[in-house]
Chain A
Amino acid sequence: MSKFARKKGKGSQSINTASLPDIVFMLLFFFMVATTMRETEVQVRVTVPQATEVKKLEKKSLVSYIYIGRPVAHLARVYGTEPLIQLNDKLVSEEGIPYESIQDYVLFEREKLPESEKNRMTMSLRIDQNIPMGKVDDVKKALRRAKALIINYSARKEYRNQGRQR
């Protein structure tokens, strides 16, 4: 009668796909909840080094980021290839030690926190592993002046052979 009628009976039976949307929705919600959209576009290339003693940063809201690296390829024509500091979505253009930019940034970020947590603000330094320390030392000096003393050197977990561990 029907065009497809003869398929019935012989061959494999078709699976009921009515619950497929439900399963997919479940997955969808999981990913929607787990996703955090990146707020800032990173304009410098950063490959953080590896270390064995890394710890998780517990409270995301207390953390502000400072990026140091060489500009990404399409910005290299404008900014050159020297290492640059990025705060939020701005590249720092201050000459010498960036006291003022860091000070402003620290004040701005600290303002966002509730009063009780202002002294627990953590600066996460995401620094490319091939950057000379000069730039890093400048930032550290500026952070000391801005009284942002808790810093975190961002690093990936490195797994070493167990042989050396006792």
Chain B
Amino acid sequence: MARETPEVNGGSLADIAFLLLIFFLVTTTMDIDTGITRLLPPEPEEDQQQDVQVNRRNVLVVLLNRSDLLMVGGEVMDRLELKDKTIEFFTNPNNSPDLPVMEETEVQFPPGSSALLPPDGVWRGEVSKGVISLQNDRSTTYGKYLQVQNELVAAVNQLRNDFCKLYFDKDYDDLNIMNPAEEQIQEGIRDIYKMNISESEPKNIGGRN
């Protein structure tokens, strides 16, 4: 005679599942890592000449002192004005002799990618030779430093985005690097608006305690 298989009571299944569910609910952190990516300059070689002569007008000195005060190009400035100042510095809209030299450059874009470019896809225009020199004190707080970095990055991002919108009718961030043509566009725009931010060795800039 066939033995009857005893049925397992499934009534508590839900309770057990709930318990596990609540455990995972509590332990889950769904934070996505976000941040500002930057490239550090490689360490200079021993025999390499350290001082490179840069034309004075091509440098914008951004200084953060130990009391977190911001000085840009010799004047005290609020953090929120820095972005516009940086954009002005990199574009030199009025060809001012105090702002960086603009250099005639040719940049290759994929042919036929934009109506505003000649058929061969070469962009001819002026590219700024400007460099931003960011200096901070050892006692500057990191939060303030990052805010300043953020404004500088924001300025360059906006320039890139404006260019991309004008020529390719697309957000710079929406360019797909997997697509070779769009990758070339991205590289081209990067050549036109370089992220020229140099960070010097920190020193004690001073300022009142």
A: residues with CB less than 8 A from B are: 17, 20-21, 24-25, 27-28, 31-32, 34-38, 48-49, 51-57, 60, 63, 68, 122, 124-125, 127-134, 136-137, 140, 143-145, 147-157, 164, 166
Complex Cα distance, B29 from A54, in Å, reads: 19
Contact with A along B118-147 (1 / 0, CB 8 A): 000000000000000000111111110111
Complex Cα distance, B143 from A31, in Å, reads: 34
Contact call A127/B142, Cβ cutoff below 8 A: yes
In this complex, the interface size class of chain B, counting residues with CB under 8 Å from chain A, is 35 or more
Contacts A21-B10, A21-B14 given; does A133 touch B28 at CB 8 Å: no
Of the residues B28, B146, B199, contact of A153 by C-beta under 8 Å: B146
State how many angstroms separate the Cβ of B132 from the closest Cβ of chain A: 15
Of the residues A24, A145, A155, contact of B18 by C-beta under 8 Å: A24
Contact call B37/A150, Cβ cutoff below 8 A: yes
Would you call B180 an interface residue if the criterion is a C-beta within 8 Å of the partner chain's C-beta atoms? Answer: no
Contact call A133/B137, Cβ cutoff below 8 A: yes
Q: Which of B19-27, B102-110, B182-190 is the contact stretch?
A: B19-27
Contact call A154/B142, Cβ cutoff below 8 A: no
Contact call B24/A54, Cβ cutoff below 8 A: no
Contacts A51-B146, A52-B150, A130-B142 given; does A155 touch B35 at CB 8 Å: yes
State how many angstroms separate the Cβ of A57 from the closest Cβ of chain B: 4
Chain B hits for A24, CB < 8 A: 14, 17-18, 21
Complex Cα distance, B140 from A130, in Å, reads: 9
Would you call B54 an interface residue if the criterion is a C-beta within 8 Å of the partner chain's C-beta atoms? Answer: no
Chain B facing A: main interface SS? mixed
Would you call B112 an interface residue if the criterion is a C-beta within 8 Å of the partner chain's C-beta atoms? Answer: no
Chain A hits for B30, CB < 8 A: 34
Nearest A residue (CB) for B10: A21
Contacts A21-B17, A31-B21 given; does A145 touch B43 at CB 8 Å: yes
Complex interface residues of chain B between 32 and 46 (CB less than 8 A to chain A): 32-43
Complex Cα distance, B159 from A26, in Å, reads: 46
Of the residues B34, B41, B136, B142, contact of A55 by C-beta under 8 Å: B34
Contacts A52-B150, A134-B138 given; does A154 touch B13 at CB 8 Å: no
Contact call B37/A152, Cβ cutoff below 8 A: yes
Would you call B154 an interface residue if the criterion is a C-beta within 8 Å of the partner chain's C-beta atoms? Answer: yes
Chain B hits for A60, CB < 8 A: 33
State how many angstroms separate the Cβ of A137 from the closest Cβ of chain B: 5
Contact call A132/B138, Cβ cutoff below 8 A: yes
Contact call A56/B34, Cβ cutoff below 8 A: yes
State how many angstroms separate the Cβ of B31 from the closest Cβ of chain A: 9
Chain A hits for B71, CB < 8 A: none
Chain A hits for B113, CB < 8 A: none
8 other A-B residue contacts (CB within 8 Å) besides A132-B139, A149-B40, A152-B36: A32-B24, A34-B28, A38-B29, A57-B37, A122-B37, A129-B143, A144-B41, A149-B39
State how many angstroms separate the Cβ of B61 from the closest Cβ of chain A: 17
Contact call B40/A144, Cβ cutoff below 8 A: yes
Nearest A residue (CB) for B154: A53
State how many angstroms separate the Cβ of B136 from the closest Cβ of chain A: 5
Chain B hits for A57, CB < 8 A: 32-35, 37
Contact call A63/B41, Cβ cutoff below 8 A: no
Contact call A155/B34, Cβ cutoff below 8 A: yes
Contacts A28-B21, A63-B33 given; does A132 touch B40 at CB 8 Å: no
